[in-house]
Amino acid sequence: MTSPLVEAVVDLGALARNLGHLRRTVAPAELMLVVKADAYGHGRVRTAQQAVASGIRTIGALDVESALDLRANGIGPEIAVLAWLYPPGQGFADAIRARVDLSASSVAEIAAIADAARRVASEPGFAPPRLHLKLDTGLHRNGATAADWPAVVTAAVRAEREGLVRTHAVWTHIAEASDDEDTLSLERFHAGVAVARDLGATVALRHLAASAAGMVRPDVRLDMVRMGGHSWGIPSIDGVTPAELGLTPVMTLRAQVLGTRPGPDGTTLGFVSAGYGDGVPRNVAGACAVAVRGAQHPILQVERDHLVIGATGELAIGDVVTLFGPGADGEQTARRWGDLSGTLGDEIVTRIAARVPRRYVDA
- Per-residue exposure over 303-331, b if at least 16 CB sit within 10 Å of its own CB, e if not: eeebbbbbbeeebeeebebbbbbbbebeb
Shortest reach from residue 297's CB to ligand PLP, in Å: 30
Helix (H) / strand (E) containing 45: helix 44-53
Residue 141 near residue 105 (C-beta atoms within 8 A): no
Q: Mark the segment that binds ligand PLP (CB under 6 A) among 71-79, 190-198, 224-232, 322-330.
A: 224-232
Shortest reach from residue 254's CB to ligand PLP, in Å: 24
- The single residue among 54, 211, 322, 350 that binds ligand PLP, judged by CB under 6 A, is 211
Shortest reach from residue 161's CB to ligand PLP, in Å: 28
Nearer to ligand PLP, 271 or 337 (CB): 337
Q: Could you say which residues in the range 334-353 bind ligand PLP, by CB under 6 A? A: 346
Shortest reach from residue 265's CB to ligand PLP, in Å: 42
Residue ranges of alpha helices (H) inside 217-344 are 334-341
- The single residue among 9, 13, 36, 298 that binds ligand PLP, judged by CB under 6 A, is 36
Is there a cis peptide before residue 28, judged by omega within 30 degrees of 0?
Answer: yes
CA 242-237-181 angle, to 5 degrees, is: 160
Applying CB under 6 A, does 29 fall inside the site for ligand PLP?
Answer: no
DSSP classification of residue 62: E
Applying CB under 6 A, does 34 fall inside the site for ligand PLP?
Answer: yes
- The single residue among 192, 228, 242, 326 that binds ligand PLP, judged by CB under 6 A, is 228
Shortest reach from residue 195's CB to ligand PLP, in Å: 21
Cα–Cα distance for residue pair 158/195, rounded to 1 Å: 15
Nearer to ligand PLP, 207 or 254 (CB): 207
Q: What is the dihedral of CA 31, 37, 40, 41, to 10 degrees?
A: 140
Shortest reach from residue 120's CB to ligand PLP, in Å: 26
Q: Mark the segment that binds ligand PLP (CB under 6 A) among 124-132, 221-229, 271-279, 347-355.
A: 221-229
Q: Please say whether the dihedral angle defined by the alpha carbons of residues 129, 131, 132 and 134, taken in this order, is positive or negative.
A: positive
Shortest reach from residue 134's CB to ligand PLP, in Å: 9
Contacts of 323 (CB under 8 A, 6+ apart): 253, 254, 255, 274, 280, 290, 331
Applying CB under 6 A, does 210 fall inside the site for ligand PLP?
Answer: yes
Shortest reach from residue 22's CB to ligand PLP, in Å: 10
Cα–Cα distance for residue pair 8/27, rounded to 1 Å: 31
Applying CB under 6 A, does 236 fall inside the site for ligand PLP?
Answer: yes
Find, among 47, 44, 46, the residue nearest to 67 by Cα.
44
Q: Mark the segment that binds ligand PLP (CB under 6 A) among 181-189, 229-237, 283-291, 334-342.
A: 229-237
- The single residue among 131, 227, 245, 269 that binds ligand PLP, judged by CB under 6 A, is 227
Give the strand pairing for 251-262 and 224-227: unpaired
Nearer to ligand PLP, 33 or 193 (CB): 33
Give me the residues that bind ligand PLP (CB under 6 A), please: 34, 36, 173, 210-211, 226-230, 236, 346
